[in-house]
Amino acid sequence: MAKDIGHFIGGKSVAGTSGRTGDVFNPTTGEVSGQVALASKLEMEAAIENAAAAFPGWAGTSPVARARVMFKFKQLVEENMDELAALLSSEHGKIIADSKGSIIRGLEVVEFACGIPHLLKGDFSDSVSSGIDMYSMRQPLGVVAGITPFNFPAMVPMWMFAVAVACGNCFILKPSEKDPSVPLRLGELLVEAGAPPGVMNVVNGDKEAVDTLLTDPRIQAISFVGSTPIAQYVYATGTANGKRVQAMGGAKNHMIVMPDADMEQAADALIGSGYGSAGERCMAVSVAVPVGDEAADALLERLLPKVEALKVGPSTDPDADFGPLVTAQHRDKVKGYVDLGIEEGADLLVDGRDFTMQGYENGFFMGGCLFDNVKPEMRIYQEEIFGPVLSVVRAPDFEEATRLPSDHAFGNGVAIFTRDGDSARDFANRVQVGMVGVNVPIPVPMAFHTFGGWKQSAFGDTNQHGPEGVRFYTKIKTVTSRWPTGIRSGAEFTIPTLK
């Protein structure tokens, strides 16, 4: 029987009242597993009101006490890891090991946020002038919001709310309606860890809920991860309403394979980064760029049998390489891109469109696909496919291989595989992409650095987590202080200068 999925507002689970719902599927079986409530404007406003009421008390809580809440939250997530991973896989479709890995990458940001007493330390300068000291402090913004995608329903929310809440803000999370159960559980665990009611709220919904966040004057900042068209809309609408916005969009991540690379290592890297999580990752490598035909042939000689041997299975199968796609609609969209690639003249070397899983014939499965001789003018190169489809674009030389990701509309992540330090260093310096890997296929930075792309992959001046995250969720205040013993008598009518 399908379960009813509501919201988490003011420290407790509440049922939806809008009368509108959406289907939540089990991608492995294709069955509807739940009905998620889609919040009305009034319901979202109730969550904002709860957060606004909780803000003064939470902002006034010491950073040390807030850090202790984050430590306890980390412990609770670890204790409930099996439950969370199983729940995530049942609604998203990724294999259990991949779900656990994504939760752990989210927890790394929680670990970073546990250092908030240090991260919020300001600067101090004594005696900037006679008897005058100056210092700065970082203070929370107020009520902030996060809008997160279906592909990482645990990791991306933790990238946002861990830093925001640790900084003293109150948070509204609007997760994807495709897999809402894990975000709700995270909200419960944060309150169990000691966050007061209203500090963390999870509201499910669609465009009506999103537009309320983008326009309500009580929301001070919004973080978004999703497709580029929606990222552009969120950024434009949010900033027009006076909000601080960071909006991460789509990607088309390249992996350059130089002739001197270890081809076996490069092929393995492409298999894991291109087909892991069924390619439903914003950092998935979807374009392989071997330099020279000899390198391309050597790479494909190793890559082709590995793609053909990929094991697709239920999310609960420990031996599966990847599971189903998130919905039937999305699977059909990915298949449509494969059809398009054939029409455009690319060579389809491995065709996974007709894959079906015995015993799970209604699941949203698709096998791995591999294209060769893809050209930059093709739509399958220009657009994000977000599925288990890898395109090989042959580059005649290093200059062309560097130009391809630099000229692409997206600029999220890129990698180069080579034994040559000069080539790697030159590439890392010159390529016009926000995150670069050298012999690392998915260059997602650690939590104490920062995540973010360039060009159409990101809108706004501040990236996710790390020191950039702390800056995004706080505002700086500078205090100039002078005490009576250092005050000269008489009025001053000129601008103060250092003495």
Report the amino acid identity of residue 47: A
| 236 vs 408: CA distance, rounded Å | 22
How do 369-372 and 347-350 pair as beta strands? antiparallel
282 is catalytic: yes
114, 167, 170, 282: which one is catalytic?
282
Contact criterion met (CB below 8 Å) for 154 and 45:
no
DSSP 152-215: -TTHHHHHHHHHHHHTT-EEEEE--TTS-HHHHHHHHHHHHTTPPTTSEEE---SHHHHHHHHH
| 225 vs 246: CA distance, rounded Å | 9
Distances (CA, A) of 276 to 106, 316, 317: 18, 15, 14
Give one word for 350, left, alpha or beta, with left for phi > 0 and alpha for psi -120 to 50: beta
What 3-state class would DSSP assign to 46?
A: helix
CB atoms within 10 A of CB 241: 15
**CB-based contacts of 56: which residues, under 8 Å, 6+ apart?**
none
| 442 vs 306: CA distance, rounded Å | 19
**Token digits of residue 102:** 């994504």
| 382 vs 377: CA distance, rounded Å | 7
**CB-based contacts of 432: which residues, under 8 Å, 6+ apart?**
405, 406, 407, 411, 454, 455
> By C-alpha distance, which of 387, 366, 328 is closest to 26?
328
CA 249 to chain centre: 9
Q: Which residue has the tokens 């203070």?
A: 139
Helix ranges (H only) for 244-359 are: 263-275, 293-308, 328-344
Contact criterion met (CB below 8 Å) for 340 and 379:
yes
Contact criterion met (CB below 8 Å) for 201 and 187:
yes
**CB-based contacts of 266: which residues, under 8 Å, 6+ apart?**
255, 257, 299, 302, 417
DSSP lists the bridge partners of residue 9 as: 12
> By C-alpha distance, which of 274, 230, 243 is closest to 388?
274
| 468 vs 284: CA distance, rounded Å | 23
Catalytic residues: 282
